[in-house]
Amino acid sequence: MSDIDIIKFIESKKNFIEKTIERYVPKEMGLNNFKSKSRYEVDFKALNYGISQPLWEFLSYGGKRWRPVLFLLISEALGADMKKISDFLVIPEIAHNGTIIIDDIEDGADLRRGKPALHKVYGEDIAINCGNAMYFLPLQVVDEHKGKIEIDILQRVYSIYLEEMRNLHYGQALDITWHKGLLKKEPNVGEYLQMTAFKTGTLARMAARMAVALSEKDEETEDRFGRFAESIGIAFQIQDDLLDLTTTEKEREAFGKSYGNDISEGKRSLAVIYSLLSLEKTKRDRLVKILNSHTKEKKIIEEAINLIKETGSIEISRETANKIVLESWKEIERDLEESEAKLYLKAFSEFLIKRKI
């Protein structure tokens, strides 16, 4: 890994990202935020309580903001006019946060980023509506750039958004079906990787594809960078799942999830799938039983984690993540001229699979 401090680099971009988001999703909405005129009177106090307040409270929880950083790095590495297109970073980031608000409700999660999940604070009704609104609010960026960016490029951006949001919901459907044990069938490695490509890879792929389209590169280049970003997303998810199994009590506050969260959810992570392929039948059946019980009992969670660790599946999963990213980097390396942005992009991809938080 290079000597570039990626955590510091991401932190240096956060203020710019937050200010860009606020231009399109204000902390307080007023009449100027409505594209069409309202016929009657709008209760802005209620509207802000129902959308803006929970949305910005959720954003204040933190988050890595790596998807907009990925968008900026690819755009810069491809020589894009950054002043012209940087606002589009809002789209994958706001959509991402909307998806995890909904995801927490679907999973019955208590915590997100070390704070109470949004539905625990505002109730499921407000959280669902706020999360859904976040799928549509960032598309204002496309409207605002009509006349500033060629219409065919804007149409390309819009098509990318629709395609990737469909993919995201396909991935969520697979994940829910598996971790609830609804089909009495365990996924194989290939099925897991495709689910993760849909669920976690899709928003990274969206950011990359939009960056390429807005940089006015061809669709073949878009496909290559899309695969690269998808690979980063898959590797990020694999590492996230491994951190859930390996993070100590002292480190969990930075990680922002309760102990053994994925075991309680019954999540079929890559390490779990590799373990189920390796364990003898009695232990395999025991691990499946624990996962399907959705227990929150620490002793039983630790039993499941120990079963996973004894197979070496954590190390195998980490190797899989490394291989996926390295292979995809080779695909795009030839598209990039030597530059600081290229160095940071490579270091960024390495960081996401080796991070500790």
pLDDT cut 70: percent of the chain above it: 95
pLDDT tens digits, 152-201: 999 999 999 999 999 999 999 999 999 888 888 899 999 999 999 999 99
Count of all residues that appear for the chain in the document: 357
Work out the mean pLDDT of the chain and round it to a whole number: 92
pLDDT recorded at residue 1: 46
Residues 28-35 have a mean pLDDT of 78
Pairing state between β 111-112 and 115-116: antiparallel
Q: DSSP secondary structure string, 252-308?
A: HHHHTS-TTHHHHHT---HHHHHHHHHS-HHHHHHHHHHHHHT---HHHHHHHHHHH
Residues 226-247 have a mean pLDDT of 92
Per-residue DSSP letter, 310: T
pLDDT recorded at residue 255: 47
- 333: which 2 tokens? 């390396």
pLDDT recorded at residue 351: 86
pLDDT tens digits, 243-272: 989 886 655 555 456 678 889 989 999 999
pLDDT recorded at residue 183: 87
pLDDT tens digits, 101-118: 999 999 888 889 889 999
CA separation for the pair 207, 229 (Å, rounded): 8
**Model confidence at 4, in pLDDT bands (50, 70, 90)?**
confident
Q: Which amino acid is at 239?
A: Q
pLDDT recorded at residue 289: 95
What domains lie within the chain, and their CATH numbers?
6-29+38-354 (1.10.600.10)
pLDDT tens digits, 64-87: 899 999 999 999 999 999 999 999
CA separation for the pair 345, 348 (Å, rounded): 5
pLDDT recorded at residue 109: 87
